[in-house]
Amino acid sequence: MKTYLALLLLCTVFLTTSQSFVDKTVKTFQAERTCGYNEVCKEEFHKIFKCKCPAYLYCRSQGRYYNAVCSITDTGYIWSQERAYELTRSKK
């Protein structure tokens, strides 16, 4: 019984310590388009989003210099996207 409680406590501590880093530096979008699940929302080294993730998904990557995809998971490197539908068009 003690082993079970110790294991349960260890799992609880491990699962609640998952951290994420939120980056709010990117504010422009390439197109006014909504991404699908597991679709690339931001490419590595680009300062612009390819598309906007729906409200229930996060634009996340393994780190700052990786492609980011729309995912349900909110851990890792999160690229914050404005939830309002006023999207700023990029100038090319």
Q: Side by side, which strands form the sheet with 58-61? A: 20-23, 76-79, 58-61, 68-71, 40-42
The number of residues in the chain equals: 92
Q: Return the higher-pLDDT residue of 68 and 11.
A: 68
Strand residue runs (E) in the chain: 20-23, 40-42, 58-61, 68-71, 76-79
Question: How do residues 25-72 score in pLDDT, each as one tens digit?
Answer: 999 999 899 999 999 999 999 999 999 999 999 999 999 999 999 999
Domain ranges of the chain: 18-79
13 pLDDT more than 70: no
Which alpha helices (H) appear in 1-92, and where do they start and end?
2-16
Q: What is the pTM assigned to this prediction?
A: 0.70
Look at residue 86 in the predicted model and tell me its pLDDT. Answer: 53
Look at residue 54 in the predicted model and tell me its pLDDT. Answer: 95
